[in-house]
Amino acid sequence: MNDVAGSGAGALLEVRDVTREYRLPRPTWRAPVPVVHALAGVSLDVCTGERLGVVGESGSGKSTLARLLVGLDRPTSGAVRYEGIDISRLPEKELRFLRRDVQLVFQDPMGSLNPRMTVRRIVQEPLKGLAVAGDHDARVDELLDAVGLPRGAADRYPHQFSGGQRQRIAIARALAPHPQVLVADEPVSALDVSVRAQVLNLLLDLVDELALTLVFVSHDLGVVRFLCDRIAVLHRGRLVESGPTERVYDAPVQPYTKALLAAVPTLEGGLPPLVDPR
């Protein structure tokens, strides 16, 4: 299925027939070069103001797609466009506008935060790197308030916080340059179950409050159902199904989607449990 998910007016990000291949080292000098096909002919749109969930098993190409959307990777073929501009063909020095407008929240907050920098410096880093005007200290205070951390946290280091608090710091850093799009790559999968709902509720509140467009990558279908308006299902690098969240859950078309839903734990044989909204 080579569907253009959500195609139509208002597309902010467009993915067109994207393929991404990775060449691995030869096991021996005579052997052919091994090639991993991470994405194969994927086309979809991310529309302004929507919350798109990208789901699939490990190795389905979800994280590769996320990296392409934020310009951290480039497709082998095809195009990725932001506001009509093909970002997959621009040199790095011309991507400053994208770095400001499209931000990524990584899966592992400890791995994505510099352990030698204070929270203040971590949150200010994109502001300084992108030459964002304004009072950077005041912006840090504003963002710490927004993510539910005390302002005194600004002068502490990442190792002094819990996993959930570190992810709040990562979210604050991503929001620092006033982006339009937030791409969250499995942002709660490394957190304790008791903390996940808190971080998800925070993320949803911020997306609504700041009128952000959200791309949420996850293998957890219950979480995606809670957060997202629309779902795109990846399988072995291909887009196999997409559509409004409730339609995909209530009447999946593809066998792979049906298998994913069947594998989700349910309550008394009903639909997958949702995250507690508050």
What is d(CA 145, CA 136) in angstroms, rounded to the nearest whole number?
14
What is d(CA 173, CA 105) in angstroms, rounded to the nearest whole number?
9
Q: What is the pLDDT of residues 48-96, one digit of tens each?
A: 999 999 999 988 999 999 999 999 999 999 999 999 999 998 998 899 9
Mean pLDDT by 10 residues, the chain (278 residues): 52 96 87 90 96 94 96 95 94 92 90 93 95 95 97 96 94 97 92 88 95 94 90 96 94 92 63 45
DSSP state of 22: E
What is d(CA 67, CA 15) in angstroms, rounded to the nearest whole number?
12
Query: In this predicted structure, what is the pLDDT of residue 5?
Result: 55
What is d(CA 228, CA 194) in angstroms, rounded to the nearest whole number?
21
What is d(CA 254, CA 239) in angstroms, rounded to the nearest whole number?
11
Per the CB < 8 A criterion, the answer to whether 193 and 224 are in contact is no
pTM: 0.89
Question: What strand order describes the sheet that includes 181-185?
Answer: 102-105, 181-185, 213-218, 51-55, 230-235, 238-244
Q: What is the separation of C-alpha 7 from the centre of its chain, rounded to a whole number of angstroms? A: 19
DSSP state of 37: E
Query: In this predicted structure, what is the pLDDT of residue 264?
Result: 75
Query: In this predicted structure, what is the pLDDT of residue 22?
Result: 92
**Which CATH number, 3.30.540.10, 1.10.10.60, 3.40.190.80, 3.40.50.300, labels domain 4-23+35-262?**
3.40.50.300
Positive or negative: CA dihedral 145, 222, 266, 191: negative
For 95, phi then psi, to 5°, come to -100, 15
Q: What is the pLDDT of residues 151-175, one digit of tens each?
A: 999 999 999 999 999 999 999 999 9
Task: Find all residues with CB under 8 Å of 66, minimum gap 6, and list them.
Answer: 54, 104, 183, 185, 215, 217
Query: In this predicted structure, what is the pLDDT of residue 278?
Result: 43
Query: In this predicted structure, what is the pLDDT of residue 3?
Result: 46
Q: What is the separation of C-alpha 235 from the centre of its chain, rounded to a whole number of angstroms? A: 17
For residue 77, what are the β-bridge partners?
Answer: 19
Residue type, 97: F
For 28, phi then psi, to 5°, come to -140, 160
Query: In this predicted structure, what is the pLDDT of residue 270?
Result: 43
Query: In this predicted structure, what is the pLDDT of residue 266?
Result: 57
What is d(CA 120, CA 117) in angstroms, rounded to the nearest whole number?
8
